[in-house]
Each structure stands twice: as structure tokens, then as C-alpha cells.
Structure 1
Amino acid sequence: MKDNAHEIIIIGTAHVSNKSVEEVKYVIERERPQIVAVELCAKRYHALRGDVPEELSIRDILKGGKLYFVLVQWLLAFAQKKIGADVGVKPGAEMLSAIDKAEEIGARIVLVDRDIQITMQRFWCKMTFFEKMRMFFALIGTLLGIGSDGSSKIDLEKVTEEDTVTQLIAELRQLAPNAAKVLVDERDAYIARNLLSVCQDGRVVAVLGAGHRAGVQKFLSAPESIPSPEELTALPKKRVDLAKIIGIMVIAAVIGIFAFLILTGSPSHVILIAFGYWFIINGVLSGAGAAIAGGHPLSILTAFSVAWMTSLNPFLAAGWFAGLVEAWVRNPTSEDIIAITHIETFSDLMKNRLFRIILVAAMANIGSMLGTFIGIWVIFTQTGIQF
């Protein structure tokens, strides 16, 4: 589409469509603009170019509250790459094609998207606990083919059509409305602001994902509605964490149960039975989570051994310990970091040592969380505790 006032020509693409690659080259050759703007930030550009990524600290990921954030980020990237592999096109191929064509005609290249780290941090902070859970399990289900009968394949050539794009975005808004706002609406505004800035220097061909075309056009036609740069890049203030509050309440309940048993002079065997249930249920489920993720026996044993204790401390998690042991055993290198950006099958993803560490930690935590709730219920029902 063309905005005559600002000489901005927008190409809406499907990020894994071969047709989009050809269309991008054709339009840039036809228009021969002074500027080619692409929906990339510096980090994504270097990733597409195959540059070596910065080293990751396993300890920081496990202990810094980034565990599920990093896991979901990798799963999102892998899902896109999986679709691309199915149609024989690498994700971002149309962006690289635009850059190559711009260099060929001597056009200036401008990266107009928001920094991926800012986007992902806002994406994670803005989502509610239940949105995160829906997103996580939806991604896992998609990757494992759960809920798909194999007959409802996406027609990627129709992904650039307005009705199809609208439907896909509507589904994202239903699954996780706050995620849609960050991934779509905010980036539309950010891209539009950058396009309005660079178009002062000449005609612009903007290569954007089809999901951003309508939103960017809306902001271009009403620049006064674009939020300030600070609003679009600032990290949101931490709000009340519902999951953490529930966790603290559960911990208080468990400690209260054992305190009640001791203070009321319950027989020692009742207290031991209650503790035994707590230890076994937490340990088995946390260890099972690590095992499902393909963890090393030492990681599984670690999850089993510490789950009873970490479930009673809001500042510890069984997955942290299991993940650190897994990292010690697997010893991931920079090659694993590079490989994770090129993997195209789920089996290869599971063979990646870095991904395996993060998955083991996440699944051990999920198992421990289930063990906490089930453990409380079993203690009440099997020990005959009466308040």
C-alpha cells in the first residue's frame, strides 16, 4: 500500500512464504526507493545473518526469574522455524531478500522494529499468570501436534490476505490479549513512528509482516495517536504477582498444618506420616517432570530430593537445582546457543543441551507445584487431621 503524503509503500509478507520473498524483490526493483525499511531490530538482523550470539548464563536464567520467559521465547522462534521448514523457506528470508535487494540498488537500509529483548520483556511482564500458562501449553501442544488432525494446514499464501491475518490476530487476542497488545499493537505504533521519521529523507519501501500492515497504516493516517517512545520502550513496573501470592498462601497453609500437629500433641507417627506424604508426593512429581523433559538421572534425583524443601520456601525452586545439575552434567557450549537458532525438528531441539537444561528446570518446577497442591490434599484426607 502507498501513503502518498509520506511516500511510504508497505509490503505485507508472510515471514515463511516463498511468494513473499519474490514479491519483495519485485516491488523494490520496480519502485527503486531511496530507503528500504525492514521489520527487524539490530539483534534480529544479526541473528538472521548468523552472527554468533552473546553468551548466556545458565545460572542467571534459572535464578533470575527468566526461566519460562526464555523457554517461551525459544518455543515461539522454533514454531516459526518449523512452519518455514514445512514450506522450504527460512523465517525472515523475505527480510534478508529486501536487504540484499536494497544493497543491490544502493538504497539505505533502516531497521524499524523495536528491540526484541524489550518486546519480549514487555510481552512477559504484561501477561497475566493464566495467559502465560495458556500460551505455554498452546505452544507445547502445537509443537507436539496435539489437537491437530493433520487436515487443517495453514495456507501460507493466504496469510497475507487481510481476512486471514485478522482471524489469526483475533485468535491471539483471545488466547492472550495482553500478549497481542505487546506483540502487535505496540510494535505497529513503534514501526509507524520510525517510518514517519525516515520518510522525510525520501521514498520508502517498508517490508513488514502481514499482521502489522493494517495497524501501521492506521497509525500513519493518525500520527497523533502514536504513543511516545518512552511508553513503547519502558519496562512496566512490577505488579502484584498472583502466582507468588498463591504460593505464599499455600506455603503458609503447609507450615500451619505441621505447626498444628506439633502444638496439639499429635502422635509422632501421624506427624511422620504427614511428612512422608509431603516428601514422596513432591519428590515423585518433581522428579517425574525432570524425567519427562529427558533429564539426566542425577538431575531427576536432585529434583526428587529437594522438592519437599523448595515447596516450603518462596525464594527457592526445585527446577533451579535440577537445572544446575543438568548444566553441570551436560556442560553446554556456545555451539548449543548457535544451534538452537537453526534447529528445525522437535527431536533435534530435544537433543540441544541448552534447551534440555531449561526444559528440565521448567518441568521440575511444574511437577513440584502440582506436588504441593496434591500433597496438601493427601495430608488432609489420609491422616485424618481435624481442626
Structure 2
Amino acid sequence: EIRLVGTAHVSQNSIDEVKRAIEEFEPDVVAVELDRGRFAAIKKEGKPPEMDDIIKGGNFNETLVQWMLAYIQRKIGMDVGIEPGAEMLAAINEAESRQIPVALADRDIRITLSRFWRGMTVLEKLRLIYALMGTIISGKGDDEEDKIDIEALTKDKDLIEMAIEEFHKFSPNGAYALIDERDAYLAHSLLRLSQRHEKVLGIVGAGHMKGIQRYFEKPETLPPFESLTAQQKTHNWKLIIGGVIIAMFAFILLLIGFSGVGVDVLLGAVVYWVIINGVLAAGFTLIAGGHPLSALTAFCVSWLTSLNPFLAAGWFAAVTEAKVRKPKASDLQKIIDAESFSDMRQVPMFRVIFVAALANVGSMLGTFAYFIFIFPILGIDPTVVFVDGFNNLVAWISGLYR
């Protein structure tokens, strides 16, 4: 027999309900919606990640989104006086006090975040970051009228379904990785446990209840377990876009060179590539609160990183920022405990990642700005350059075979 308890991660009622369910049901095993990493974090047994490991990972945007989500969840918890994940900790402590084994039923958070981020379109990512930043910077939820009634959310199934439906509309691909796939993963875990234990109690988020129950009713619809953990095969857009940028830049220089407008114009095109990329990368580094040396680093490398899909201006800026700010592993807890976005920005580890993300944004915008504005800046007619340059290039190539 499998019994589910749907909880909110910042709810006193959920804590009480979890304890009551364990006492009344007397399960052979308690399965919690946690993976090893989050289990260790809740039990305060985990080792915080080192800054070097985060930088080497290079997933700056994913890391930022994860921190923002953790921050927002904690802010909601502060409103109701409950630490995020308190109901899971209560389930673990209650089970351990009764010598009941605890099983970790959720997918590795790193796999979930990777599939979540990789699965979203560019538009979905921009909308998500905009929404998260808007919530954090505006401090929405601090006013009494903005408070979220967590207890009502866990009790009202229609409200839960409405919230999930809105998330699917907001980010279909993100919702699929964050909700639908984890419904299936949790169902797999619970069904496997039921083969070894007579009574299984599953402690899961209220938003997963309906999806898990649907799979219990029709287990044949469960996707293969391996498909939920395998690395998604996606087009390597970084390489594709990088290749297109290199080709466009080389093609423009080639046409300018063969158009006969002069060497000074050709040199100007190269110089402006360096300046436009550098200024925007450095500017966004400073907007992120980066050190002037980090901004200088971004300026110096962005012209090159924009032409190399294996390099990123943000990575170099982050390395410099880390050397200057000297973040510590303990900074991660400071990020989660921050009272506001400005407090968060004061934490060296957050600032390093924020610098990395915004430097990359600036470098990317610099590349687009170059292709849009280079001809007006140089004061030449692109039509003339393209026509004359192309004709002269064709004539030159033809002359090679005569």
C-alpha cells in the first residue's frame, strides 16, 4: 500500500500532517521528495560547493536561477515563520525516532536543473529571469496584501491545479522538467519501494500529488526510468551560433577588403569589433557590481570570446572577480539568508556569479550591436560594399583559375 501526503515546503500545517500520518499509518518506509544533495543540506551535513568548482562548471545562469528560487522560497518561509523544507526534516526526524527507514525519492537536483534550463527556449529563459529578478528587486510579498496563504494552497486542489496550469503556460518546457518529469520519477521511486515494503508513505509537494496518482492508476503510461535521468540530446546551439558569428564577421571583413573602400575602413571595422564588444561586456560587468579589474578583463577578452564558442567573457571576468573578492564556501548560506537583493549582491560568491552572467550578456549584446551598427558607424553604404566586394571577390577567385 502506498499513501501520499501532499505538503507545502513552508507550512506549519504540513509539518503537523506529516507527523500525524507517520503516527497513524505506521509505514515500513517513509519516502521523501529529496535527493542526496538536498537531504544533506536539510540535515546540515553537506559540504558547501567551492567557488572554483562553480566557475569550472560554467553554468552561471543555472546557478543564478537556483539561488533566486531558493531565496524566494525562503522569503515565503519567513512570512509564515517556517524554514523551507521543514516538513521534510520533520518527516525524517519522526521516521528516525521510530526506527523507520527513510528513502530519497526525488531526482538529483543537478539533473533536474540541467534539464529544466536546457529544455527551455530563449524566450522562456528571459521571461523566467525577468520574473525572478522582478520579484526579488521589488520585494513583492513583503506587504501584507502580497502575503501568500500557504495553508490555503495545500488544501485547495483547484488552486494548486490552477497554479500548475499557469506555470505550464508561462514556461511549457520548464514546467515539463520541473513538474511532469518529477511526477514520473517520484512515481517510479514509490512503486519500486512498494515492491520491497508493504506500507509506503510518500511525502511529496502538493503540486505533484495529481500527477503521481495518475501514474499509480495507469502505470503503463510511465515513461522509462532511464529517460528521466539521461542527458538530453539537444542541438549544440552554442557551436552553431558561434560558427555563424565567425562566418558573418569574416565575410564582412572580406567584403570590406575587396570593395575598395580602403584599408583604414577595414582597420576601423576590426577596431570597432573590439570596442563595441568590450564596452558592453565591461559595462554590464560594472552593472553587476564587478570590480574595475573584472570589467577591464571583460573588455580585453570579449572581442575574442565572441569569436570562440568554447570561451566566454563572463568566465574570465568571474575568475578575476573571484581573485579580488575571495569568496568562501560559507557564502552560499549567506546568499540563502539574504534579506534583500542588495544584501545578496554584497555576498562575494553571488557577485562573482552575477558578474559572470551579466558579462556574458554584455558580450552577446555587443556582438549583435556590431552587426547592426557597424556600417552606419563607418559611414559607408552596406549595399555598395556588398555588391562591389562580392563582385571583386568573385573576379579575384576567377583570376586564380585562368
User: Residues 343 and 50 (structure 1 numbering): CA distance in 2 closer, same or farther, change over 3 Å?
Assistant: farther
Instruction: Please report how far the alpha carbon of residue 343 of structure 1 lies from its aligned counterpart in structure 2 after TM superposition.
Output: 4.1
Equivalent residue, structure 1, for 2:356:
361
Instruction: Please report how far the alpha carbon of residue 149 of structure 1 lies from its aligned counterpart in structure 2 after TM superposition.
Output: 11
Q: How does 1:161-172 map to 2 (within 5 A)?
A: 161-172=156-167
Letter in 2 for 1:354: M
Contact 1:277 1:378 in 2 (8 A): no
Equivalent residue, structure 2, for 1:157:
151
Q: Deviations over 1:227-265 (max 9, x none)?
A: 22212211122x213454334323322222222222333
Q: Per the alignment, in what secondary structure is the counterpart of residue 10 of structure 1?
A: strand
Equivalent residue, structure 1, for 2:287:
292
Contact 1:32 1:105 in 2 (8 A): no
Deviates more, 1:336-345 or 1:160-169: 336-345
Q: Deviations over 1:265-302 (max 9, x none)?
A: 32233234433433332222111111111101100111
Provide structure 1 residue ranges, at least 5 long, that are not aligned to the other structure.
1-5
Instruction: Please report how far the alpha carbon of residue 212 of structure 1 lies from its aligned counterpart in structure 2 after TM superposition.
Output: 0.5
Equivalent residue, structure 1, for 2:66:
73
2:13 is the counterpart of 1:29:
no
Counterpart CA distance in 2 for 1:152 and 1:213 is 26
2:38 equivalent among 34, 39, 44: 44
Instruction: Please report how far the alpha carbon of residue 64 of structure 1 lies from its aligned counterpart in structure 2 after TM superposition.
Output: 4.7
Equivalent residue, structure 1, for 2:138:
145
Counterpart CA distance in 2 for 1:148 and 1:379 is 45
Deviates more, 1:288-297 or 1:62-71: 62-71
Question: Percentage identity across aligned positions?
Answer: 47
Instruction: Please report how far the alpha carbon of residue 17 of structure 1 lies from its aligned counterpart in structure 2 after TM superposition.
Output: 1.7
2:80 is the counterpart of 1:87:
yes
Q: How does 1:1-387 map to 2 (within 5 A)?
A: 6=1, 8-53=2-47, 55-56=49-50, 58=52, 61-62=54-55, 64-145=57-138, 151-160=145-154, 161-200=156-195, 201-237=197-233, 239-242=234-237, 244-383=239-378, 384-386=380-382, 387=386
Instruction: Please report how far the alpha carbon of residue 147 of structure 1 lies from its aligned counterpart in structure 2 after TM superposition.
Output: 8.6
User: Residues 243 and 129 (structure 1 numbering): CA distance in 2 closer, same or farther, change over 3 Å?
Assistant: farther
Counterpart CA distance in 2 for 1:306 and 1:118 is 31
Contact 2:120 2:173 in 1 (8 A): yes
TM-score between the two structures when normalised by the length of structure 2: 0.87
Letter in 2 for 1:36: V
Q: Per the alignment, in what secondary structure is the counterpart of residue 204 of structure 2?
A: strand
Deviates more, 1:270-279 or 1:17-26: 270-279
Letter in 2 for 1:189: A
Q: Per the alignment, in what secondary structure is the counterpart of residue 260 of structure 2?
A: coil
User: Residues 245 and 315 (structure 1 numbering): CA distance in 2 closer, same or farther, change over 3 Å?
Assistant: same
Deviates more, 1:174-183 or 1:27-36: 27-36
Deviates more, 1:299-308 or 1:140-149: 140-149
User: Residues 64 and 96 (structure 1 numbering): CA distance in 2 closer, same or farther, change over 3 Å?
Assistant: closer
Deviates more, 1:289-298 or 1:33-42: 33-42
Contact 2:297 2:317 in 1 (8 A): yes
Contact 1:85 1:344 in 2 (8 A): no
Q: Per the alignment, in what secondary structure is the counterpart of residue 159 of structure 1?
A: helix
Counterpart CA distance in 1 for 2:49 and 2:43 is 17
Counterpart CA distance in 2 for 1:243 and 1:154 is 39
Counterpart CA distance in 2 for 1:347 and 1:82 is 14
Deviates more, 1:91-100 or 1:184-193: 184-193
TM-score between the two structures when normalised by the length of structure 1: 0.90
Counterpart CA distance in 2 for 1:79 and 1:54 is 20
Counterpart CA distance in 1 for 2:203 and 2:348 is 35
Q: Per the alignment, in what secondary structure is the counterpart of residue 192 of structure 1?
A: helix
How many residues of Structure 1 are paired with residues of Structure 2 in the alignment?
379
Instruction: Please report how far the alpha carbon of residue 51 of structure 1 lies from its aligned counterpart in structure 2 after TM superposition.
Output: 1.9
Counterpart CA distance in 2 for 1:365 and 1:376 is 17
Counterpart CA distance in 2 for 1:146 and 1:335 is 25
Q: CA RMSD for the aligned pairs? A: 2.4
Instruction: Please report how far the alpha carbon of residue 61 of structure 1 lies from its aligned counterpart in structure 2 after TM superposition.
Output: 4.2
User: Residues 77 and 54 (structure 1 numbering): CA distance in 2 closer, same or farther, change over 3 Å?
Assistant: same
Q: Per the alignment, in what secondary structure is the counterpart of residue 310 of structure 2?
A: coil
Instruction: Please report how far the alpha carbon of residue 366 of structure 1 lies from its aligned counterpart in structure 2 after TM superposition.
Output: 0.1
Contact 1:278 1:376 in 2 (8 A): no
User: Residues 146 and 309 (structure 1 numbering): CA distance in 2 closer, same or farther, change over 3 Å?
Assistant: farther
Say which one has the larger Rg.
2
Q: Deviations over 1:87-114 (max 9, x none)?
A: 2211100000111112233322221111
Letter in 1 for 2:287: I
Instruction: Please report how far the alpha carbon of residue 30 of structure 1 lies from its aligned counterpart in structure 2 after TM superposition.
Output: 2.8
Contact 1:302 1:322 in 2 (8 A): yes
